[in-house]
Amino acid sequence: MSRSGAIRLERRLPTATGIRSPRHTSCAAPSIGSDYRADVTTLRIYGLFIVAALAEIGGCWLIWQSVREHRPWWLALGGVVALAAYGFIATAQPDAHFGRVLAAYGGIFVAGSLVWGVLADGFRPTRWDLIGAAVCLVGVGVIMLAPRR
């Protein structure tokens, strides 16, 4: 019991990195907003993955256009700038482990590359392409949102 006489309960809340930290809430006044913070952090993780995908896939596509499709050289320069931006965007992820962030991003890259190919080049993925991308996206969720000790 707390000094006010209210019974205090320990409640574990999920966080973006999956580490569950104890929060003490009172039966009289439960903590409001803590789930909201976890949801916003999760949205931030996926938002950063999408922005990173646009930078990396877009940068690679610009270089491809310049070199393989014999388009202007400045497209390759734009691709190099986009790829450099990708490197900085990845550092904004809330998880502090480089290997985890980049491994999870690999799944986003696979799925994003297929989407980019459809939108930019008229590529038509097979069902195996789509199944593979779905498996990769499940892997992203496991890597980034699994509970950590």
Token digits for 30?
């439960």
Report whether pLDDT(14) > 90: no
Cα-flanking dihedrals φ and ψ of residue 131, to 5°?
A: -65, -45
Q: What is the mean pLDDT of residues 121-143?
A: 95
Span 79-114, pLDDT tens digits: 999 999 999 998 998 888 889 889 989 999 999 999
Contacts of 4 (CB under 8 A, 6+ apart): 26, 28
DSSP-based helix, strand, coil % in the chain, nearest 5: 65, 10, 25
Cα gap 69→56, rounded to integer Å: 19
Span 27-80, pLDDT tens digits: 344 444 557 777 788 888 889 989 999 999 999 999 999 999 999 999 999 999
Q: Please, how many CA atoms are within 13 Å of residue 122, restricted to the half-sphere of its CB?
A: 0
